[in-house]
Amino acid sequence: MVSNQHGLKDQVAGKFKEVKGKITGDRQEEAAGKTQKVLGKAKDKVQDLKDSLTGNDKEGTQ
């Protein structure tokens, strides 16, 4: 089964880093986490675009 959340791992890891940075007061760690979350979201958008261009949309398929 193909996951529709290709960037989920990066989003979760990024959120963890962001929270850890906030708790410890490490602004660099917090920024790295935010960046990783954005990267994960971008991966999802790129995969959605690829799927729509190749006709592999989940909508309307069984």
13-35 pLDDT per residue, tens: 999 999 999 999 999 999 999 99
- Three-point CA angle 19, 14, 35, nearest 5°: 110
pTM reported for the whole predicted model = 0.73
Tell me the C-alpha distance between 8 and 32, whole Å: 16
Give me the chain's average pLDDT, please. Answer: 86
Cβ–Cβ < 8 Å for 55, 1? no
Cβ–Cβ < 8 Å for 15, 37? yes
Token pair listed for 55: 């006709």
